[in-house]
Amino acid sequence: MVKDDDGQIGVVAALVRSTFLVNAVYADSAREYGLTSQQGQLLCVLMARPYGMSELGATLGLAKSSLTGLVDRTERNGLVERGPDPQDSRAVRVALTRRGSGLAEEFYVETCRRVERLTTELAAAERDTLAGLLGRVVLDNKVPAVFLGPDGGALADRRR
């Protein structure tokens, strides 16, 4: 059943449908920057710091072969580069290039703006409540920080 008796969408349907909505906004934004959604995710994750391949695969939820292809394509576009891992000579770390960093920043800001627009019909208190509840769901389920808010978290700390 999609709707409760009071006409409200239930929590499962609301979460699933909001995922589709945000993914569509994210995909449209990525396309306008000449990226795939996965490349956009990769750039946003790497904004915080370089990652090792296995850590990157776990964060993005990708199998090794899928991750390798994604990094290969993004590297060919000059947006990321592989380098030695200072902790493990057998491993590599993936980092943004200067060009990738600039594109990531532009993509990130624009995508945040577009996602933020989804809540313009909500009052400030409603947006705060929504952020608090969704934030709790995300934290309780240990979702990796693959995309931070425009004003928050590790990205804001990195800029200081």
SS3 134: helix
pLDDT score recorded for residue 156: 39
In a domain, 105, yes or no: yes
pLDDT score recorded for residue 159: 38
In a domain, 43, yes or no: yes
In a domain, 66, yes or no: yes
Name which of 56, 59, 62, 61 is nearest 91 in CA terms. 56
pLDDT score recorded for residue 86: 86
Domain count for the chain: 1
pLDDT score recorded for residue 154: 42
Tell me the CATH number at 64. Answer: 1.10.10.10
Show the domain range for 51.
Answer: 39-150
In a domain, 3, yes or no: no
pLDDT score recorded for residue 7: 66
In a domain, 9, yes or no: no
Query: Could you state, in chain order, the average pLDDT of each consecutive group of 10 residues for the chain (160 residues)?
Result: 64 94 95 95 94 92 93 97 89 96 96 94 96 93 76 44
In a domain, 120, yes or no: yes
In a domain, 29, yes or no: no
Tokens of 102: 């600039």
pLDDT score recorded for residue 143: 84
Q: What is the DSSP letter of 79?
A: S
